[in-house]
Structure 1
Amino acid sequence: MSIEVSKTVPDGLRSLVKAVSVLRADDPAAGERPPLVHLPDPDTSLIFRTTSAGRSDLLVIGPRTRASYHVGKDLPFCLRLRLRPGATRPLLGVPVSEVVDRVVPLRELWGASADPLDAALAYAGGDDGLALKHLEAALSARTSADGVRAELVQAAVQALRGRARERREPLPAIARHLAVSERHLRALFADAVGLSPKRYERIERVRQALALARADGPRWADLATATGYYDQSHMTAEFRTLMGVTPAAYFEGRLPALQPC
């Protein structure tokens, strides 16, 4: 069984990273591992993980447009940094659209300049404090974000994410409030977030429905209204498209067949 714990984002990473979490296995050799469910996710993450075999990986996980279901993995330690949309493009060095639905070794994007960081993290092992110090130094050294552009991306993301129980404004209205054209906003999203605004909104809405269902219980008609769907059938159809099963099946544990990760 594994336990995931949220960590405080170091001060030096706050402009680049929105959240940090650490996943540790209680006993990697004990018992059957639960299914590993990857939800649709509009964010890009930087992952450092180790295995009981002594291997380690430093990976970029791009935005995920659909859920995937896998056999549980042997990961004694996994450190995840969820990158801020306005900082992701400069840190990766490529448009975020190039890593959508992909898991990419950081070295594939950074070249040999990723090797010192990879080695330092491997040496740190399961010491998340030391690992974060190495990551802070490496990521800060690559920061070259345009502050105005980063603020525009963040504002657009916030407007599209909206709030639970509230409807968001149409995309043309959001573009007007941000003083950019709708075309520019779409291009900005493809480059900085990796998704179209519409797809970003769909993923966020399903994630909001999941969070509310866990907190308030699966009252589907109420959830549909609270998360901005037209009705329950609209929510069910979109949930099935992104999650692979209906909301009822998901919360009853009737998941798609598990695949190797």
Structure 2
Amino acid sequence: MAQRPPTVGRGVLHPAEGASRFTVTPVPPGPGLAAYVEYHWIVRWDVTGQPPYEQQVLAHPNVHLVLEKSGPLVYGVIRGIFTRRLIGAGQVHGVRFLPGGFRAFTAGPARKLTDHILPAAGVFGPGADELCPRVLACTDTDAMVALVESFLLTHVPAEPDPHVARVAAMVEAMTADRTMVRVEQAAARFETSPRTLQRLFAEYVGVSPKWVLRRARLQEAAQLADSGSTDWAALAADLGYADQAHLTRDFTSVVGVPPSRYRPREG
């Protein structure tokens, strides 16, 4: 798969408001990890003297390794709204694995991680606990990335798993192509059966192909809502919904408010 520059922001709800509280620095992986890792992300914040800030995110179909003050954690795909509470000042270092990429580091299917947050030592051993404070003590982004990459390279499997690149390419296509709205369409595009696609996603991604398609549409709807006024009826048609009411139900069930009440907020 061709290396793409890392992008962040899609899925972050009310990003303008969050931008006044924290910064996100994305860093692409080195060549030794590019087959498994999409990018590193370092979040820094300072809300000292202010009320705690809660940032909500419509998560992507990616597993993350996150080094934070409470310790190193593995975040499976979160199917609901993920909320991060920021207090005082600090930083975290995250590693966003490619969809399917984390499967190469574990003995079990990705579905066992879904909606779970687990100690990273359970996957990477006690070295993860030793790594965490060293990384968080750094103030230089490049130094942080170098420490994490050096650690992860010791856990890269000797033999590459060909399914990882295939699954990552599938998720990328499903996320980018607005016309792909049904699992049957995706299966036809990838020359497989819906059942085989479902099994592959349960093993490598942790969520169903239907969830991936639905989440991509909801992320786009939220992103457009944050940009200002939206013709929701036209957007519903563009995103493959039966009608505006279908989009409204889907959006409300996940975000908690209907699209018409989701408004950009001041930063």
For residues 175 and 118 of structure 2, what CA distance do their matches in structure 1 show? Answer: 26
Deviation at 1:65, TM superposition (A): 0.9
What is the Cα deviation at residue 60 of structure 1?
A: 1.3
Residue 204 of structure 1 aligns with which residue?
216
TM-score scaled by length of structure 2 = 0.79
Mapped partners of 1:41, 1:155: distance in 2: 14
Distance 2:233 2:128 in 1: 48
Q: How does 1:74-113 map to 2 (within 5 A)?
A: 74=88, 76-113=90-127
**Cα root mean square deviation, aligned:** 2.5
Find the aligned partners of 1:218 and 1:72 in 2 and give their Cα distance: 30
CA distance in 1, matches of 2:66, 2:258: 30
1:49–1:160: structure 2 CA closer, same or farther, 3 Å change rule?
same
AA aligned to 2:194 is E
Q: Which residue of 2 aligns with 1:257?
A: none
2: distance between equivalents of 1:169 and 1:243? 20
Question: Is 2:28–2:38's contact at 8 Å kept on the other side of the alignment?
Answer: yes
Q: Is 1:17 the counterpart of 2:29 in the alignment?
A: no
SS in 1 for 2:53: coil
Q: Take 2:181 and 2:230, find their aligned partners in 1: how far apart are those partners? A: 26
| Structure 1 range deviating more: 94-103 or 140-149 | 140-149
**Would you say the 8 A contact 1:5–1:21 is kept in 2?**
yes
CA shift in 2, pair 1:75/1:227, >3 Å: farther
Q: Aligned residue for 1:259?
A: none
* 2:198 corresponds to 1:186: yes
Q: In structure 2, what residue type is equivalent to 1:230?
A: A
- The count of corresponding residues between Structure 1 and Structure 2 is 244
Amino acid at match of 2:154: A
Conserved 8 A contact 2:71-2:129:
no
Percent identical across equivalent pairs?
A: 26
User: Aligned partners of 2:89 and 2:245: how far apart in 1?
Assistant: 38
Indicate the SS of the match to 1:235: helix
2 CA distance for matches of 1:180 and 1:146? 22
Matched, 1:245 2:263: no
Gaps of 5+ in 1: 51-55, 254-261
* Distance in 2 of aligned mates of 1:4 and 1:116: 26
Q: Which moved more, 1:148-157 or 1:71-80?
A: 71-80
- Cα distance in structure 2, aligned partners of 1:204 and 1:37: 16
Mapping of residues 106-121 of structure 1, within 5 Å: 106-121=120-135
For 1:141, which of 154, 157, 162 is the aligned residue? 154
CA distance in 2, matches of 1:6, 1:232: 36
The secondary structure found in structure 1 opposite 2:100 is helix
Alignment pair present for 1:67 and 2:81: yes
1:92–1:121 CA distance, 2 compared to 1 (3 A): farther
Distance change (3 Å), C-alpha of 1:194 and 1:77: same
Aligned pair 1:129/2:146, yes or no?
no
SS at structure 2 position matched to 1:35: strand
Q: 1:78-105 CA distances to partner (integer Å, 9 max, x unpaired)?
A: 2222110131111244322112112212
- The Cα shift of 1:207 comes to 0.7
TM-score normalised to structure 1 length = 0.81
Unpaired runs of 5+ in structure 2?
1-19
Q: Tell me what 1:3 maps to.
A: 22
Aligned to 1:30: 49
8 A contact 1:34–1:71 mirrored in 2: yes
Q: CA offset at residue 67 of structure 1?
A: 1.2
Equivalents in 2 of 1:230, 1:127: separation in Å?
Answer: 49
Q: Per residue, is there more helix in 1 or in 2?
A: 1
Relative to structure 1, is the Cα distance of residues 72 and 134 closer, same or farther in structure 2, using a 3 angstrom cutoff?
closer
